[in-house]
Amino acid sequence: MKLTLTTWNINSVRLRIDLVAKFIKAVRPDILCLQETKCPDDAFPRKRFKRLGYENVALNGQKGYHGVVVLSRLPFESSAIQVFCGKSDCRHVSIMLGERAGLQDPITLHNFYVPAGGDIPDPAVNVKFAHKLAFLDEMGGSATLRSDAGQRSIVVGDLNVAPLECDVWSHKQLLSVVSHTPIECEKLVAVQKAGGWIDPVRAFVPEPTKLFTWWSYRSPDWAAADKGRRLDHIWVSPALADRVSAVKVAKDSRGWERPSDHVPVTATLDL
């Protein structure tokens, strides 16, 4: 059984629903995880996604900001929402796939939207950056984010940190820029190590090859400048590490009309 899953910060699902539909028709992932949906649950375009083949939906959204959703062609057994830093700000949703999806051994999938952190990398003067660091600390300490021996789990999402030097266009120039500061990188790596997570994307595109999933709207010609960062991630537990058969970053979607500043990242697993 092949399972394809995509993570994509869509930056308003209602504004870019046609772009999502375009991507779905071309790639047809079994599971689509979106972040920054900016949409309350009762206004989410369920009917459009049902017509596109996604009848199974796990939502955690709010008006105007943040929001995450898991859309699945496969039925799932359950869904859950976890709150971080005492804030109900719609940054996590998870599902568990099991027998209803044709799986003998279940898989838990977590979809995250980590706080961006604002512009000033100083938690003493920037509450957004302080929130981001605290959020990463809680992720690292979360018992639900442990990939115990034999457990089949996946973490995806806009984690808003580019942890490796080759995850940014210029390591030296971005050391003091939020998303690539040493403290953020250390904390995200700590989350990965604490949970025992493996980064299959870098297994397919190994260091020191540069790889980006985000290009700023501020760049007048994003493609020519190519000043990107890898902010969007897919992690798997050791039990699934040898099951990932392909990874694709859909860079071309950044050039679509009125695009998100992030692009889809898709992994294929042979289960």
Whole-prediction pTM: 0.98
Q: What's the average model confidence in pLDDT over 60-66?
A: 97
What does the pLDDT read at residue 211?
Answer: 98
Q: What is the pLDDT of residues 140-199, one digit of tens each?
A: 999 999 987 789 999 999 999 999 999 999 999 999 999 999 999 999 999 999 999 999
What does the pLDDT read at residue 177?
Answer: 98
What does the pLDDT read at residue 128?
Answer: 98
What does the pLDDT read at residue 83?
Answer: 97
CATH class given for the domain over 2-270: alpha beta
Q: CA of 92: how far to CAs of 60, 223, 258, in Å?
A: 7, 31, 26
DSSP string, 212-226: -SEE-TT-TTHHHH-
Query: Per-residue confidence at 8, pLDDT binned at 50, 70, 90?
Result: very high
What does the pLDDT read at residue 149?
Answer: 72
Give the span between the Cα atoms of 61 and 75, in whole angstroms. Answer: 20
- Looking at the chain, the whole-number percentage of residues with pLDDT higher than 70 is 100
**In the chain, domain spans:** 2-270
- Looking at the chain, the whole-number percentage of residues with pLDDT higher than 90 is 97
Q: What are the φ and ψ backbone dihedral angles of 79, each rounded to 5 degrees?
A: -140, 160
What does the pLDDT read at residue 148?
Answer: 77
Residue with tokens 């973490």: 155
Q: What's the average model confidence in pLDDT over 125-147?
A: 96
Give exposure, 89-125, as e/b (b: 16+ Cβ within 10 Å). bbbbbbbbbbeebebeebbbbbbbbbbbbbeebebee
What does the pLDDT read at residue 26?
Answer: 98
What does the pLDDT read at residue 91?
Answer: 98
As a whole number, the mean pLDDT across the chain is 97
What does the pLDDT read at residue 150?
Answer: 82
Instruction: Indicate the DSSP class of residue 175.
Output: T
Query: Per-residue confidence at 220, pLDDT binned at 50, 70, 90?
Result: confident
pLDDT higher than threshold 80 for residue 74: yes
